[in-house]
Structures are given as C-alpha cells and as structure tokens.
Amino acid sequence: MSASTCGGCKSGQYLCPSDQQTCVDGADSYHLCPNLKGTHLDAILTVEERVDYVIAHTSLDEQVAQLSNNAPAIPHLGIPMYQWLNDDVHGVGHAGPNATILPNGCGMEATWSKEEARLSTNGAGITIYGPNLNLVRDPRWGRGQETFGECPGLTGELVVSWVTGAQANKPREALGPDGGPLLSGLCCKHFAAYDQNKAVEFSANVSARSMWETYMPAFQRCVVEAQATHVMCSYNSLLGEPTCGNEDLLTDILRDQWNFTGFVVSDYDAWTAMQGYLSDSMVDVAAQGLNAGLDQEGGGTEAIDNITIAISQGKTTTEKVETAFRRSLRIRIRLGMFDPPGEVPYDSIDESALQSAENIEVNRAAALASMTLLKNDNQALPLVPENSSSIAVIGVQATMAGLLVGNYAEQAADNNWGDSVLAAIEARLDADVAYAPGCATSDCNSTLGFEEALKVSQNAETIIVMLGLAANSMGGEVDGPSDEREGHDRTAIKLPGFQGELVKELRAASPGKKLIGVLLHGGTLALGNAKEQLDGILTAWYPGIEGANAIAATLFGDSNPAGRSASTWYRSTSVLPDAWLEGSMDESDGNGITYRFIKDQSVVDFPFGWGLSYTTFHYSDLTVEKNVKQIDPCESITLSVTVANVRDLDGEEVVQVYLKLPDATVETTLVRLVSFKRVMIKSGDSARVGLKIMPQAMAVIYDDEESDPYNDTRHMESGLLQLFVGGGQPGYVDTQHVEVDVTDTALLSSCDIGGA
C-alpha cells in the first residue's frame, strides 16, 4: 500500500525507508519493502558494499553536508538525519530525566576495576563523545575530573574495558556480538597532548619520549585494542601545528601506523579555531583539515561550508570528501542504523529502562567501588552508632545532591539527582540527624555559619564534615562559581575558602570526638592541617546519582572501601611545578610531574595508588612464572603472589605491580605501574593472584635531538627489571620484589605482541 495514496501509514504499520511511500504490516514485515536488495538497506551485503551504494547515489553537496556532527537526512535514500554529539563523561551528558549518571572519570579511575568499567558503560548510548583519555599532569586542571587520572598504564587498561563494554565488541574486533551491530560507538578524545585550560593558544612541544611514554599509549590501545569508532582531535597545537590540521597525527599515526578505519571529528569548533593559526582564510582551513585526515566538523558547519570552494580552487579534492564521508557512514552501518528493525540491540530499549532498577544497581556498585579511604586513625571508621543522636553532619554539601554528579551532567529540569548525603545517612539510620550547613555556600567564602555548626556538634560523639570542590558546567546544582570545569583551572589546590578553618574549629571544640571528613571533588586537594585534624578521611570523588547511598554505606560499614587514588595528592600548591602553567611538557621539571617522576616523596600527602581498607591484607610468596630469571625482549612476564585477608571482614584488595629500570641507558620513569588486579578475598581466606606484564609496559624511548616525535621508538632494553608487588607504590607501603634480566634490546614495533 502506498503511503501517498492513503495519507500516511495506519497505526501499527511501518513506513518502508527504501521509498518512503510503501506501508507494510509492522516492522516484522520489513522484508516485504521494495527496493531493499543490493542497496545500503540490504543487511546481507558487506559493510563496504553498502557504503559503496550510498557513495554511488549521493552528490558532492550531499556528501559534504554529511561531514558535520549534525548530519542532515538524505531523503531519496531513506537515510534519516543523525546527531553525533553525545558527551559521555559518566553517562550521556545531553540526556533527559531518565539518564543514569555514573561516577565521573575521577571516580571510575579510583575503582581500579576493569570489570567495573566494562559493566558501567554497557548500554550507554548509540554514539558517544567519550572516554576522555587525557592525563592529569597537574591537579589544578579543570577537566582532570573527566579523565582516568595521571597514569598512562592505568588509563589504557580502563579504556579498553570502558570502550568494549559500551560497544559490546571483543578486544580487536570491529563488530558486536556474533558479528552483528555494535551496541554503541565510542570516541577516543582529545587527541593529543591536551591537558590545559588555555588549550586553543597552547602548543604541546613534546619530545619523542613524552609522546610515546606518556601521550600515545592509551590512545593506541583505544584505537587498536578497543576498536573505538571515532577519535576527536583537540583544540591545542602539537609541535606548533593544530592537531585538527596535523597530517602526521591524523593520517601517519592513526591510519598508517594504527590502521584506524573510523572517523576523526574535531572538538567543538576546533576546525574553525584553526583560522588565524594555519591561515586567515576559512577556505584554506577547511582544506587543511580535510587533507590532514579530519572527517567531521564538531560544532557548526563554517568549515565544511567552504569545502566546495576549496575544491574549485584546487586546494582539496572530491576524493577527500568521499573518503571522509565513507568513514562516518561505515560506522553508521556497523551500528546497524540501516538494518531491519528488531535486529539492532538498542532498537528494543525503552527510554524508561535507562534508570531501571538494574541500571541503578550498576550505578550504585560503581559508586561503592570508587569510595577511597585516605585515612583511618584508630579505626575511626566504620561508624557503628548506638543511636542517631550521637552523630552530627556539618557542611552545606550534605544537602546538595547535584554536587555529587560533577561536570557534564546537563539534565531536564525535573531530573532526580538522587539522594543528598544527609538524606542517605538519615535513611541508613532511620532517624533524623543533627545538621548545620557550616558555610552558606559550597565554596565557604565566609565564617558566618561556624557558630551554628559548633553548637550542633556539641552533643554529638561523631561529627561528619563535608568538604571539597564544586564542578558543573552544564546545569547542575552549584550554588556559586564552579571550582573546576572545562574552561576553568584552579590556581591553588588547598581546600576552598574557609573549609580548613571550619575543620580547625570543629576539632578544637570537640576534643576526643570522632571527626570524619567526606570529600567531593575531581582534582586532588592539599588538605593542610585538616589532614592531621581529621580522624578519618573518605573521598567520594563525584560519585553520580547513587553517590550519597554509597557514601552512607561506606561510612557505616555496609561496604568495605577499596578505591585507590589514580592521582597524586600533593602537600601544597608551592610544591607543584610552575612548568605546567608555563606550557612546558617536561615531566622532570621541579619536583617531577606525576608519580612516575616525583623525586622527593616528602611533597606527597597521599601517593598515586593509595587507599585503605577496613581489613588488612598480607602478601607472601611472590614468584615469576616457571621461575624465569631472564626473558627475551619481546616476552611478557607473569607474576604470582599470595594475598591473605587476615582480619574478620571481607574485603577487596587492589594488587599493584610497579617497575624500576636501574640499567636504563636513556632517561625514563623513576617508577611506573605495569599491572594491577582488583580481587575480593573473604575474611580469613587467601588468594593466589596472577599478574601479567606486557613488553610495552616495560619499554623505554630512544630519543635525541634528531628524533621524530611522530615515530614510535619504544624499545625493550636489555638489563635489569625490578618488579615490586603490594597494595601500593614501593616506598609508601610494604612490597615484595623480584628481579628479571632482559637478554637483548629490540624495537617494540618489531615484536609480534599487538596493542600499545
């Protein structure tokens, strides 16, 4: 039946996309639609055959128009418009009231759990601008909260799980379950060396060593192992050339070295932002981006609107346009967007299921897994109160549920942000709890509320004080300026405003009482005297809409914390290297940038990898598989260690392996994480934990003044490997160690090992 003759399809009927006229009896009758065979709508054809059909049946103008993140419809082919823009820092950022907001990147990193990363992104959305793979080189960076921390190794491991969990593909496989459509398409961003606020004006003048020791490994794993569908180039320049117009980066590395077949999208208006840097002419800028390997304009269409002019002037070609369109079209087909209804996983998901009981449980599990216990003097935690009257909660943050979600969490006005911390504590105790805001606003810019806070705490045996930062750039519940966000870096890392003074006065007025600090933040903080004045410190990061319940469960012992910090906590702003603010990328500046280069441990309050438990773990019997003492340069190493839970409480331990290279002939890290595993061990039990270390985790970079930073010169070098195993970094916690010799030196890319 023709829709044009009957005025549209009847209720229950399905309008065939092949001609936009024929109606069939529901989606189950899709196969009866005319003109399916041999077209892009024919699911029997290969991806490339379907792409070829669309290319052959579209004009140059139609193809150019598709090079936008707001791709218009192509009506004569039955191709609907598609909006690629979906930020996903911790759930879909541009979402409606049913969105499930997970812990922010800083919270997910603290789980140190590949399984948690995989579960938490399953079913996140169709195409997503995430994850953020940039590394935190300085805690002041406003976007650090979005990332997985300061370690390339940890970031790479979590990214593979995050991306494959969302896309539902296996590592190194481009399709979804049983060779079918992907569940979603993920984006590795921001490529590359992007970690500063003044990003458009900033040129990352990196060495070959910094490029391949720090910036490239996680992106390579995202592209090669996780098979992410797209990559986002960043606002900054790299070695003086904007990344979105950098052929060495977008073609030589991505396409030629890593065999990337997805598409590259610019950060929002980053393509047009090249005007004035590459050229004053937008026609030149449009051509430069396309020629370099940029496929899609993020933001508006000002750049792509000039592409046909650039072609007419001989500055680019129709073949470049076709190639760029092929890359994004290929992803739409891999996602099943043109497949029969009912055969695509996301077709059957009802919007109301997005905040279902099952998804809420995944959210809560992720929030619980991220809870990180920094201090617990005299077993101040967990709390086991005899009655609710013995507890006081201080801090305006305790009543602001929106503060728990962090950055990039734009929601509908009627969104349920979840419970506040105060409400969750009262629900846990089934009683009202004494409360005072302490400060009028979350940034605590005055002491006007101190008197009430001291009065409320007088009758309490335990005082819980909420501290930390506020961050939300997209409509969340922040009662003043955000402390950290995109476009705003902190100038100092101390507790905001008078928060430190509030802790000091509470401590002075409450001698002998338990004083527990709960922190909300992304970037790490210098706690100053509050570190000593607080008996217990629990950091919750930005834990999402189930964060309040996770905080309450952890405070009262319903859950044993096992989060580990993925960033260093410095003692003060003064110990941070000024080089970061000046644009230097030298990791060895000053005291060293990140845990891998810190020369003086006295500048650290809590190290990378730090986190306590309510139970105690004992390590013993560290061995190398088959008692190997020497390995060839392309070989991996497998360690085994026994970890025993020696107290009467079940708990999870994060077993960490660190490497030192005393025989390295080139400059390299002082220490680095090379493997880890989060394991549950019952009270009184022990587990034999195996940990594999790949050659790429142990490599050094051969770099001199003649080295091309775009050339991967990672080598597995002959000499001694010192491996330390424990619940944290050597020098901060007790560890066991073994030594293994590498017999020879080899270029890593010559080894048949895959990955990054």
Tokens of 363: 């959210």
Between CA 488 and CA 495 the distance in angstroms is 17
Angle between helices 421-429 and 547-555 (to 10 degrees): 50
Tokens of 124: 């996140």
Burial class (CB in 10 A: 0-12, 13-18, 19+), 707: middle
In the predicted structure, residue 179 carries a pLDDT above the cut 50: yes
Evaluated on CA atoms 100, 101, 103, 109, the torsion sign reads positive
In the predicted structure, residue 677 carries a pLDDT above the cut 70: yes
> Mean pLDDT in the chain?
89
Q: Based on C-alpha coordinates, what's the Rg of the chain?
A: 27
43-99: per-residue pLDDT in tens? Answer: 899 999 999 999 999 999 999 999 999 999 999 999 999 999 875 544 444 444 455
Neighbours of 450 (CB within 10 A): 20
Residue 90: its pLDDT value, please?
43
Residue 585: its pLDDT value, please?
47
Least confident of 349-353, 399-403, 694-698: 349-353
Q: Please, which residues bridge with residue 67 across strands?
A: none
Helix or strand run (H / E) with residue 358:
helix 357-370
In the predicted structure, residue 4 carries a pLDDT above the cut 70: no
Q: Please, which residues bridge with residue 373 across strands?
A: 538, 612
Helix (H, G, I), strand (E, B) or coil at 735: strand
Site of tokens 């002041």: 140
In the predicted structure, residue 119 carries a pLDDT above the cut 60: no
Residue 197: its pLDDT value, please?
57
In this prediction, residue 577 has a pLDDT band, given cuts at 50, 70 and 90, of: confident
Q: Are 69 and 83 within 8 A, CB to CB?
A: yes
The two domains 371-567 and 617-750 share their CATH topology (first three levels equal): no
Of 610, 729, 603, 612, the closest CA to residue 660 belongs to 729
Site of tokens 């995944």: 362
- In terms of DSSP bridges, do strands 651-660 and 719-726 run parallel, antiparallel, or are they unpaired? antiparallel
Residue 342: its pLDDT value, please?
75
HSE-CB at 687 with a 13 A cutoff on CA atoms is: 18
Residue 412: its pLDDT value, please?
42
Evaluated on CA atoms 91, 97, 98, 100, the torsion sign reads positive
In the predicted structure, residue 376 carries a pLDDT above the cut 90: yes
What lies within 8 Å, CB to CB, of 37 at 6+ separation is none
Between CA 407 and CA 129 the distance in angstroms is 14
Residue 474: its pLDDT value, please?
46
In this prediction, residue 100 has a pLDDT band, given cuts at 50, 70 and 90, of: low
CATH code, 617-750: 2.60.40.10
Q: What is the domain partition of the chain in residue ranges?
A: 64-71+79-341, 371-567, 569-609, 617-750
Residue 6: its pLDDT value, please?
45
Tokens of 579: 């080089």
Tokens of 541: 């990061």
Question: Strand (E) positions, 482-585?
Answer: 514-520, 536-539, 569-570
What is the average pLDDT across 161-182? 88
How many Å separate Cα 574 from the centre of its chain? 28
CATH code, 64-71+79-341: 3.20.20.300
In this prediction, residue 5 has a pLDDT band, given cuts at 50, 70 and 90, of: very low
- In terms of DSSP bridges, do strands 203-204 and 514-520 run parallel, antiparallel, or are they unpaired? unpaired
Task: Name the CATH topology of 371-567.
Answer: Rossmann fold (3.40.50)
Q: Are 352 and 98 within 8 A, CB to CB?
A: yes
In this prediction, residue 250 has a pLDDT band, given cuts at 50, 70 and 90, of: very high
In the predicted structure, residue 436 carries a pLDDT above the cut 90: yes
pTM above 0.85, yes or no: yes
In the predicted structure, residue 156 carries a pLDDT above the cut 60: yes
- In terms of DSSP bridges, do strands 735-742 and 630-631 run parallel, antiparallel, or are they unpaired? parallel
In the predicted structure, residue 8 carries a pLDDT above the cut 80: no
In this prediction, residue 570 has a pLDDT band, given cuts at 50, 70 and 90, of: very high
99 or 297, greater pLDDT = 297
Distances in whole angstroms, Cα of residue 141 to Cα of each of 10, 563, 574, 673: 55, 22, 16, 22
450-477: per-residue pLDDT in tens? Answer: 999 999 999 999 999 999 998 764 444 5
In the predicted structure, residue 175 carries a pLDDT above the cut 90: no
